[in-house]
Structures are given as structure tokens and as C-alpha cells.
Amino acid sequence: MTRQNSADQRNAAGEWAGAGFETVAIHAGQEPDAATGAVVVPIHPSSTFAQDAVGVPRGAYEYARSANPTRTALETCLAALEAGTVGLAFASGLAAEDAVLRTVLRPGDHVVIPSDAYGGTYRLFARVFAEWGVEYTPAPLDDLEAVRAALRPGTTRLLWCETPTNPLLGVADVEALAGLIHSVGGLLAVDNTFATPYLQRPLALGADVSVHSTTKYLGGHSDVVGGAVVVVDPALGERLRFIQNATGAVAGPFDAWLVLRGAKTLAVRMDRHCANARRIAALLTTHPAVAAVYYPGLPGDRGHAVAAKQMRDFGGMVSFTLRGGEEAAVEVCRRTRVFTLAESLGGVESLIEHPGRMTHASAAGSPLEVPADLVRLSVGIESAEDLVDDLTQALAALN
């Protein structure tokens, strides 16, 4: 049955192969319901599906951990958006990452990870898979010589890439990294959460696996926790599907439906996130209280050239450090009114946070520790003037 589903998924995505991103987002995997004509994919809560005789399922479904029609719609849509062949939806971004690692790695394998990876990703390697006998080496992925030096030919099975990175907005050259890891027989996985498939398509750039926390921009409304994996190689897709079913961290039907609804408006939301982030980055670069701004859209940013080459636009995340140090960083987070002080990112509402004490606290004392005076913004889609005014008042008289 799972075989059948992945063939269906390929066909459904293939129908929209020539269409534009916005059209794919709204239609791939989302044909009007055959039974009722409902234009919107229904939420199917059923955990099980009737069989006409023993071993003869009535339709394509048997049991909802293995496959569920709402989840299949989302998985088909995500595969099409990422230009892959197999998409899989999980209960969280970390569940998606875990499934990739279980599929690809065996005890004794080695992986290279970004030296500024998302804190939860670092914890998964350092505290879970390390105990499982998987060795990891952090490397600055924007330094190709450093990455080459970290590779162990024959042992390095996986290069884990995040671009742009959370929270320092570092940019890695996906095409170049794919060349490096493929030359030693390993796979490239890219955490595409910050960029989204609208701004960047890692699989088209040579990556083997694209991973998302759909909690963020794909869901887009801060009302769901979810994850996704998309791959090109159907055999790798089948192994991942096996792990998804065998370990069971699947996206539930309502969660899958929320992410599917979010995906429909991803393109228009991202355009506004990017435009607003550009305004905020411009404000911060000229502000006397600000020490440094991290935003790949700034022409002087260390990642600008590579980002301009591989991304459609530069995203909605902006980080900065303060001349007043950690105290000033914490104070700014306390003062904003439109920017809500909270973890997470990628929703329509603007958020502000202090990574050192919040999202990245688990990396404290590790090689991935983040600067104490760093503030991270998830720039939302409110009116740009209100966002600029809010940050301006929060930064006033800080230095």
C-alpha cells in the first residue's frame, strides 16, 4: 500500500510539473474531493479504513500511521514545491530530522554539521546520535576548505547544512557543498526552514534531502508544530517512508491540514516578510545602538553573494548585536510592543528573542554557543511603518 501511495504522489505532483510556484502550492495534491466536490482537502480523522475482504482495502488506505489522505495531500504538495519525488510529513521538525538520521546513519558513521546550527539540531547530534555511535564535527559551512578538511572519506555519510542559519544567518553554497560531500560518497541534507521552497530549492541545487520545520514559514501562522522531508531519489524516499511508518512520528490530520493551508499563501507571505525584513535591516544598519547586523540581503553581508546566487530573495529573519552588550539585548526584547517576545519564527506576527537565553540555551558551553549580545527578529507581515516605529522606540537611549 505504501508503494501505491508514493506512485500516486509522483503522479499528482507530476501533473503540476510545469506550473508556477503559487499554482503548485494551491493545487498539487489538492484535487477537489472525488466524493463530494469539496474544493478544500477534507480533514480525515479516521485512524482506520474499511476493507472489502481480508487483505482487500477499499481504497488506497488501511491504517492512518502508514498513510492518511489529508497527510498524503500535504506530502504530495511539499514534494512538488521542493521539486522532489517523495515528500513526508512529521509531527515536528526534529522528528523529521530524526527520521533522516535514522534512515541514513549507522553506528560508526561520521557527519559534518554547521558550526552555527539550530540548537535543537545540535542537541540531536550531540546528545542523541552521539550516544548511538555517530561522530560529528562542527564546521563553518561558508568556508569550503574547512568543510573539506572535516570530511573523512569513506566514513562521512552525511553533511548537514542549514542555510541561512539560525540565528546568525550564515549562508552556505549548496551546490558547492553537494559537490564536496558527493566526492566522498556521502549525502547532503539541507534544513530549508528559513528560506522555504519559495526562496530556495536545495534539491535543484544538488542536495539529496530537504528538511523543514513546517512549524515556521510553511505553517506560517504560529498555530501548528510540524516537520517535513523531501527527497529526489525514490529509493531513499521509500527507506524514509519505512522509517516514518516504523517509528511513527507522523503529522496528524489536523496538523497536516493547517500546514497545507499555510502553504497556499506561502509565496505572498514570503514576499512581504522579505520586504519588511529589508526595511528593518536598513534601520538597524544605521542605528547608533546597534553593533552588527546579520542579514544576507545587505550588500555588505558575508553571505550576500552566495545568497543572491541561490535564493530568490533573502528571507524574513534578521539578527543583530548591541553596543550595550547582553544587558541591552535583553532590554530591547523587553521594550518592543508589536514584536512579541517569544521563541519560534516564521508566523505572520513579528517576534523578538534572545537566542543565548532562549532558543539556543541548549548550545551554551558548546562550540555552537551564540553571542550573548545577540537579538533575533522574525519579521512578520504587519505594516512596515509600525515595525520600524516599534524597534525605534525600543532602541532609543540604549547606548
Ligand X SMILES: *Cc1c(COP(=O)(O)O)cnc(C)c1O
What residues between 137 and 196 interact with ligand X by CB under 6 A?
A: 162, 166, 191, 193-194
Asked about 264 being catalytic, the answer comes back as: no
As measured in angstroms, the least distance from the Cβ of 291 to ligand X is: 24
- Catalytic residue flag (residue 201): no
Pairing assessment for the beta strands 317-322 and 51-53 based on DSSP bridges: unpaired
CA max distance for the chain: 75
Question: Based on CB atoms, which residue is closest to ligand X, 172 or 283?
Answer: 172
Considering the complex, state which of residue 61 and residue 160 has its C-beta at the smaller distance from ligand X: 160
Residue nearest ligand X, Cβ-based: 93
Which value, to the nearest 10 degrees, does the dihedral of the CA atoms of residues 196, 202, 362, 387 take? -30
What's the closest the beta carbon of residue 354 comes to ligand X, in angstroms?
16
The smaller minimum CB distance to ligand X, of residues 171 and 291, is found at 171
309 is catalytic: no
Smaller CB distance to ligand X: residue 30 or 121?
A: 121
The catalytic residue among 65, 123, 148, 272 is 65
Q: Which of 97, 104, 95 is nearest to 252 (CA)?
A: 95
By C-beta, is 61 or 257 nearer to ligand X? 257
Among residues 10, 102, 216, 269, the one annotated as catalytic is 216
Contact with ligand X (CB under 6 A): which of 25, 94, 151, 158?
94
* Residue among 16, 61, 118, 217 that touches ligand X (CB under 6 A): 118
Cell of 100: 533522516
Q: How are strands ordered across the β-sheet holding 317-322?
A: 290-294, 317-322, 374-378, 351-353, 340-341
- CA gap 231, 100 in Å, rounded: 10
> Is 169 in contact with 292 (CB distance < 8 Å)?
no
Closer to ligand X by CB, 28 or 168: give it: 168
Region from 44-52, 212-220, 241-249, 378-386 binding ligand X, contact rule CB under 6 A: 212-220
Q: How many residues bind ligand X (CB under 6 A)?
A: 16
Of 294, 364, 287, give the one whose Cα is nearest residue 328.
287
Query: Does 353 interact with ligand X (rule: CB under 6 A)?
Result: no
Q: By C-beta, is 173 or 191 nearer to ligand X?
A: 191
Given 172, 225, 338, 374, the residue binding ligand X (CB under 6 A): 225
Q: Which of residues 34-93 bind ligand X (CB under 6 A)?
A: 92-93
Mark whether 216 is an active-site residue: yes
Give 241-295 as a DSSP string. HHHHHHH--BPPHHHHHHHHHHHHTHHHHHHHHHHHHHHHHHHHHT-TTEEEEE-
Q: Which of 118, 122, 198, 295 is catalytic?
A: 118
Please pick, from the candidates 220, 227, 262, 303, the single residue that binds ligand X as defined by CB under 6 A.
227
- Closest approach, Cβ 311 to ligand X, in A, equals 15
C-alpha dist (Å) from residue 248 to 67, 96, 189, 389: 11, 11, 21, 46
How big is the CA angle at 125 (ends 210 and 368), to the nearest 5 degrees? 95
Dihedral pair phi/psi, residue 121, rounded to 5°:
-70, -45
Which residue carries 536598513 as its cell? 282
Smallest separation (angstroms) from ligand X to the CB of 350: 16
Q: Give least dist CB 257 to ligand X, A.
A: 17
Span interacting with ligand X, options 2-10, 199-207, 213-221, 376-384, rule CB under 6 A: 213-221
Residue 9 neighbours by CB under 8 Å, 6+ apart? 29, 72, 75, 76, 79, 85, 86, 87
Counting contacts by CB under 6 A, is residue 216 touching ligand X? yes
Establish if 200 lies at the interface with ligand X (CB under 6 A): no
Catalytic residues: 65, 118, 191, 216
* List of residues contacting ligand X (CB under 6 A): 92-94, 118, 120-121, 162, 166, 191, 193-194, 213, 215-216, 225, 227
